[in-house]
């Protein structure tokens, strides 16, 4: 069991569920880049970990030169690792990795609304459906009209939590582009498009509460 979020990331080396999830998330990032409008592509990633989903996709993508991204992550060691990767990819002018609180709206000023919003590894770390609703509602601050939102949600005790997420996305004015379960069958990955209007100010400064812990991560 991982004792912190840095150790949790080591599970990518051994857990098929996480490896398959990463593969699908990268496919969805590539799809979003393929279908982004011409010109600059703004990306934000919440609770970004070490940024391996986006940083593993950009080097092979023809639209990489158009990307301006802000990744927000609390764990300083993961941020350090991500920044080193950004530097080695020569993307320091395009990607900022903020060591800060992803639940705070202030950390997206100047970066939101975005064309692509990455919300991976978060929904399973919210206290309940009210908190999920709060975050989905606040996505209208982070996303442009027509933006892509990429998300993941693990299943536990045989409960298909990703179905609940899909239902709420529909209710909040998102169109589902695609949804896949990992081959392991217990992790949902989705890509939705926001059809509503973007709002300039969120209802609350705190967009959601991340209450999960790494040894129970879902
Ligand atoms: C389940 S991991 C997911 C990481 C990454 N998105 C991925 O899919 O590989 C959750 C991440 O959220 C980070 N985190 C937890 N609370 C946070 C907060 N308030 N602000 C920013 N990051 C936070 C943790 O440090 C951890 O890296």
- The Å distance, Cα 13 to ligand 1 centre, comes to 18
| Nearest by Cα to 49 from 12, 79, 22, 70 | 79
Span 5-216: which CATH code? 3.40.50.150
pLDDT confidence tier of residue 13, bands split at 50, 70 and 90? very high
Decide: 98 in ligand 1 pocket, CB within 6 A. Answer: no
- The Å distance, Cα 88 to ligand 1 centre, comes to 23
Decide: 5 in ligand 1 pocket, CB within 6 A. Answer: yes
> Among 6, 7, 47, which is best to mutate for testing ligand 1, by the most ligand atoms less than 8 A from CB?
47
- The Å distance, Cα 214 to ligand 1 centre, comes to 9
pLDDT confidence tier of residue 215, bands split at 50, 70 and 90? confident
Alpha-carbon separation of residue 48 from 17, 120, 197, 200 (angstroms): 18, 8, 25, 23
Angle subtended by helix axes 129-142 and 161-171, to nearest 10: 50
Predicted structure pTM score: 0.98
Q: What is residue 217's predicted lDDT score, i.e. its pLDDT?
A: 65
Decide: 101 in ligand 1 pocket, CB within 6 A. Answer: yes
Decide: 120 in ligand 1 pocket, CB within 6 A. Answer: yes
Distance (Å, rounded) from C-alpha 140 to C-alpha 102?
Answer: 15
Protein residue closest via CA to atom 5 of ligand 1: 49
Decide: 48 in ligand 1 pocket, CB within 6 A. Answer: yes
Distance (Å, rounded) from C-alpha 166 to C-alpha 182?
Answer: 16
Decide: 6 in ligand 1 pocket, CB within 6 A. Answer: no
Mean pLDDT on 105-109: 98
Burial class (CB in 10 A: 0-12, 13-18, 19+), 121: buried
Q: What is residue 113's predicted lDDT score, i.e. its pLDDT?
A: 98
Distance (Å, rounded) from C-alpha 203 to C-alpha 165?
Answer: 21
Mean pLDDT on 153-162: 96
Distance (Å, rounded) from C-alpha 39 to C-alpha 154?
Answer: 34
């Amino acid at each position: 069991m991982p004792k912190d979020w840095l150790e949790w990331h080591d599970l990518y080396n051994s857990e098929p569920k996480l490896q398959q999830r990463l593969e699908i998330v990268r496919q969805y990032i590539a799809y979003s880049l393929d279908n982004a409008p011409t010109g600059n592509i703004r990306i934000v990633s919440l609770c970004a970990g070490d940024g391996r989903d986006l940083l593993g996709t950009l080097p092979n993508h023809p639209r990489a030169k158009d990307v301006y991204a802000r990744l927000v992550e609390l764990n300083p060691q993961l941020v350090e690792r991500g920044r080193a990767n950004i530097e080695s990819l020569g993307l320091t002018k395009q990607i900022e990795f903020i060591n800060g609180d992803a639940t705070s709206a202030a950390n997206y000023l100047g970066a939101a609304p975005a064309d692509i919003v990455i919300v991976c590894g978060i929904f399973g770390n919210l206290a309940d459906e009210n908190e999920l609703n709060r975050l989905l509602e606040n996505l209208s601050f982070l996303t442009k009209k027509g933006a892509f939102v990429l998300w993941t949600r693990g299943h536990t005790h045989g409960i298909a939590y990703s179905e609940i997420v899909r239902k709420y996305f529909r209710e909040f004015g998102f169109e589902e582009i695609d949804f896949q379960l990992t081959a392991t069958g217990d992790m949902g990955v989705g890509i939705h498009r926001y059809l509503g209007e973007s709002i300039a100010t969120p209802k609350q400064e705190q967009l959601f509460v991340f209450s999960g812990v790494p040894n129970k991560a879902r």
